[in-house]
Amino acid sequence: MNFTINRPAFISQLNNVLRAISSKTTIPILTGLKMVVDQDKITLTGSNSDITIESVIDASNEDYGLVVKEPGAIVLPARFFSEIVKKLPDQQVTIEVTNGFQAEITSGTAKFQINGQDAGNFPHLPEIETENTITLANDVLKEVIRQTVIAVSKQESRPILAGVHFTLQDGLLTAVATDSHRLGQRKVALENVDSGINFDIIIPGKSLDELSGMISDADEEIKVQVSENQVLFIFGNTHFYSRLLEGNYPETSQLIPTTADTTMELEAGTFLASIERASLLSHESRNDVVKLTLQPASNRVQISSDSPDIGTVQEEVATTALDGQDLEISFNPNYMKDALRSFGQATIKISFTSPLRPFTLVPTEDKENFVHLITPVRTF
């Protein structure tokens, strides 16, 4: 194996694949980076069993300056190899494999030799049928992930809740996540989807976090393919595989209230700033809660918090609409901040039924397709 490539362009692809490689794995070869060199391309693969990322460097793309002298394949120690490439002195780097599985890395006056492994021992990628393919705009997928993954459970006691539940039925894509204290649900109506393509899958939240970090802001489409235990996202020159969680996700549609006794509308960004100020004191308190007091008759909304050791805070909240009965309700400010951030600068409607029942947040302009639910905290 022997090839020369533009080093900065090579590093950008290495960084993508490194996202999938962990130093903590029970399969030693997965600490390595698989590199397969053909006459016209290089395929880089990294995996940690849960996610696998494959990136293709095509010789036809002049940015890479790829010149292949001899094809071949090898697995190199990922972190060590990437650190070497990043610190090399020249714009070009040449990688040559000699003596079986020993790689020689040359750039300018620097030369490294590192030991590799047989690429044939690297786990094979799953084969996924292309018939089950849907296409999403990259900004839509990033938004769906951002609005739901915040509610994924971090507790290991219920592993099924560590994922986002995706269903596709009659062209309607629904994503739901809950940790039993809060819930995020987003719906997207897809166009030009074969009516025969339906699925019900649970994707680990960690996989979606990594995927979201890789999706560029460039205007591109992402293909999604689903198999029995894997999902594949294809974008640019990257293939992103994730295992699926096994089991049945709990029924969540019954959790979302359909009626409300008290409602208010306000700017998400302004309310977020108020909650952040109140949480400065609540975080110093043992129970870490913020109280919201609503008095529609006098058109008054107030948030407050206190810490026995530090002091108290009270702040009037500006609303654009306020209706219903008087209410006092307490909640975890971290849950509220996460929810408000997912709305951006939109105007939102918050609907309450009682001090101890979950309340909902929806955007006023698209209330059917996105809802966030938070369970209040009992303070008495």
Share of the chain above pLDDT 90, in %: 79
Model pLDDT, residue 121? 94
Q: pLDDT-derived band of residue 284, with 50, 70 and 90 as boundaries?
A: confident
Domain 256-374 in the same topology as domain 2-121:
no
Domains of the chain: which residue ranges? Answer: 2-121, 133-243, 256-374
Closest CA to 103 of 5, 35, 181: 35
Model pLDDT, residue 288? 85
Is the pLDDT assigned to residue 194 strictly greater than 90? no
- The tens digit of pLDDT for each residue in 107-166 reads 999 999 999 999 999 999 888 877 778 999 999 999 999 999 999 999 888 899 999 999
Closest CA to 250 of 311, 183, 308, 194: 183
Phi-psi region of 100 (alpha: psi -120 to 50; beta: other; left: phi over 0): left
Pick the CATH number of 256-374 from 3.40.50.12280, 3.70.10.10, 3.30.1300.10, 1.10.357.10: 3.70.10.10
3-class DSSP assignment, residue 332: coil
For the residues 302-322, what does the mean pLDDT come to?
A: 91
- The tens digit of pLDDT for each residue in 339-362 reads 999 999 999 999 999 999 999 999
Q: What is the mean pLDDT of the chain?
A: 92
**What's the rounded Cα separation, in Å, for the pair 74 and 367?**
52
Is the pLDDT assigned to residue 7 strictly greater than 70? yes
Model pLDDT, residue 133? 87
- The tens digit of pLDDT for each residue in 202-222 reads 999 999 999 999 988 776 899
- Is residue 352 within 8 Å of residue 362, measured between CB atoms? no
Model pLDDT, residue 118? 95
H helix runs in the chain, sequence order: 7-18, 78-87, 138-148, 205-214, 268-282, 333-342
For the residues 47-66, what does the mean pLDDT come to?
A: 94
- The tens digit of pLDDT for each residue in 105-122 reads 999 999 999 999 999 999
Model pLDDT, residue 219? 65
- The tens digit of pLDDT for each residue in 229-243 reads 999 999 989 999 999
| Helix, strand, coil in percent for the chain, rounding step 5 | 25, 40, 35
Model pLDDT, residue 291? 94
CATH superfamily name and code, 133-243: DNA Polymerase III, subunit A, domain 2 (3.10.150.10)
Model pLDDT, residue 372? 97
Is the pLDDT assigned to residue 380 strictly greater than 80? no
Q: What dotted CATH number matches 2-121?
A: 3.10.150.10
The pTM assigned to this predicted structure is 0.92
Tokens representing 362 are 């929806």
